[in-house]
Structure 1
């Protein structure tokens, strides 16, 4: 099984590289990569684009395969496209995590990854959210994604059965703005 952490964005709304924001004595991306490492994936991929050189200097990438996304400015669909080319051919599928969402719990990642349908998503108290599960059969569709909301369009397309995994609590904070970061630091994340 492959874990994919999306961390290629340019952090336009925040105004600085959110991957490198201080969080629990390290960086925001370090926290998410630690989560991915704790999930016992056979392969962990991380996409880099905006601030890639700084991320390589300051983030612990041990045990992680970096996928460079030169087209990062076109949305996360381009990162997913780039990363699917690096997925181990033996993988049953991949779990998609956001590099700026450190509040996801490893137990919930494992529950999503255990889904028997081609797609799975977490159903939090206040809506759907990451992580997502994509079975191997769906990977060809991930290779043609475009834009920022492409995985959501695939999820809601009706082309594949989807399992919604119930998860306690709200959707973990996804840091896109300074206000999101303040809420995360204030302890509103799980």
Structure 2
């Protein structure tokens, strides 16, 4: 079974407020990510909180494991390691890594990535946008040891660079839309009003 890791432990320093709580199309960005995961056939679903954890409200759901990362100041790698340990404990055969601030990720994309892993046999399925491979990304459990070796601010990108031959890519042009600043958020809301 494929699990889903939703990384939501960052402090949103450039934004000045927890990005997890920003509202888009009637839901917070984190709620959207969790609902997308719940609508998929994936299990387990793990959300990693860290900075601002006390300000982030998540409706309890027995299908969602919430982890509080005390080491979040180290960077994204600490959240990935914590979540991968949980995936191993729960017996996941593979795991998606998702961010909480990519509002255009949907269940259809996740399902297409699962199908691509079946079709290609590649251990990594990554989204392709802005000329590179990025998140969401699906890792077979054979890559879990590599993920557990990440340090500091290293995200999964380091593994994508080191294991380029092991990747099948799936186009996802909207993958480049994430929320790091208030300008990013205002642009997203403007886009919502156009659609």
Q: Give distance in 2, aligned partners of 1:75 and 1:94.
A: 20
SS in structure 2 of the partner of residue 9 of structure 1: coil
Q: Tell me, yes or no, if the aligned pair for 2:134 and 2:157 is still in contact at 8 Å.
A: no
Query: Which sits farther off after the overlay, 39-48 or 117-126?
Result: 117-126
Query: TM-score with structure 1 length normalisation?
Result: 0.89
- What is the match of residue 149 of structure 2? 144
Cα shift readout 1:96-123 (whole Å, capped 9, x = no counterpart)? 1101112112111112233121111012
Structure 2 unpaired stretches of 5+:
none
TM-aligned CA deviation for residue 172 of structure 1: 4.5
- Unaligned 5+ segments in structure 1 are none
Q: Distance in 1 between matches of 2:156 and 2:69?
A: 17
Instruction: Return the match for 2:137 from 132, 137, 157.
Output: 132
- Are the aligned partners of 1:10 and 1:50 in contact in 2 as well (CA < 8 Å)? yes
- Aligned position for 2:6: 5
Counterpart mapping for 1:35-50 below 5 A: 35-50=36-51
Range with bigger deviation, 43-52 or 88-97: 88-97
Whether contact under 8 Å (1:126, 1:171) holds in the other structure is: no
Q: Tell me by how many angstroms 1:184 deviates.
A: 1.4
Instruction: Output one character per residue of 1:42-69: Cα deviation in whole Å (capped at 9) or x when no partner.
Output: 21000000111221xx232423101111
- Normalising by structure 2, we get a TM-score of 0.87
Q: 1:105 to 1:164 in 2, by over 3 A?
A: same
How many pairs align? 187
Q: CA deviation at 1:23?
A: 2.4
How far did residue 15 of structure 1 move? 0.7
Match status 1:67 vs 2:67: yes
- Residue 175 of structure 1, aligned match among 152, 171, 179: 179
Q: Distance in 2 between matches of 1:103 and 1:142?
A: 25
Matched, 1:187 2:187: no
Contact residue 4 and residue 98 of structure 2 kept, 8 A? yes
Cα separation, 1, equivalents of 2:139 and 2:154 = 15
Q: Which residue of 2 aligns with 1:92?
A: 93
Secondary structure of the residue aligned to 2:163 is coil
| Alignment-derived partner of residue 119 in structure 1 | 124
Change (3 A) 1:159 1:125: closer
Larger relative helix fraction? 2
* 3-state SS of 2:139 partner: strand
Cα distance in structure 1, aligned partners of 2:81 and 2:146: 9
- Deviation for aligned residue 1:9: 0.6
The alpha-carbon distance between structure 1 residues 111 and 142, as it changes in their structure 2 partners (threshold 3 A), is same
Write the distance in 1 (CA, Å) between the matches of 2:78 and 2:94.
Answer: 18
